[in-house]
Amino acid sequence: MRLLIQRVQSASVSINKNIVGQISNGLLLFIAFEELDDELDLHWAVKKVLGLRIFSDHQQKMNLSIKDITGEILVVSQFTLFASTKKGNRPSFIRSAKPDDALKLYKRFNKIIQEQSNLKIQTGEFGADMKVSLLNDGPVTIAIDTRNKE
């Protein structure tokens, strides 16, 4: 599983000009799954996202988590995070999970993060052509791959 995490002041996702998910201060998560991903990966990733201390404390040091600030989270599926550009100029997505499997993992991830955080969680629509708008705060952008846990 790969996550691209952006600290945002605001973010929204729309489909056909209709906003389907919108947050203010919090995290925008772009997420992709591969065939090897399982329940352990989901729980590890949720724990990591909720524990990342990337929000400023009163001394302006990145020392607070999304839970500490009672922020909001927008989760958007993005299989292109597994793009391989080793050969030629057209990316290959051979490592991406099959859509049916990825959809199950996406739904499960969203359920786990909701259960473990009690924060406002918004999502895009899996597999849809979405437009994402965001105001990155910092900017702060962090990439996580569950294959690199150690």
Q: Do residues 6 and 136 touch, judged by C-beta distance below 8 A? A: yes
In whole angstroms, give the CA distance from residue 30 to residue 6: 8
- Cβ count near 95 (within 10 Å): 16
Contact indicator for 34, 8 with CB cutoff of 8 Å? no
Catalytic residue among 70, 80, 85, 123: 80
Q: Can 141 be counted among the known catalytic residues?
A: no
Q: Measured between alpha carbons, how far is 61 from 118 in angstroms, rounded to an integer?
A: 25
Q: Nearest to residue 69, comparing CAs of 105, 107, 26?
A: 26
Catalytic residues: 80
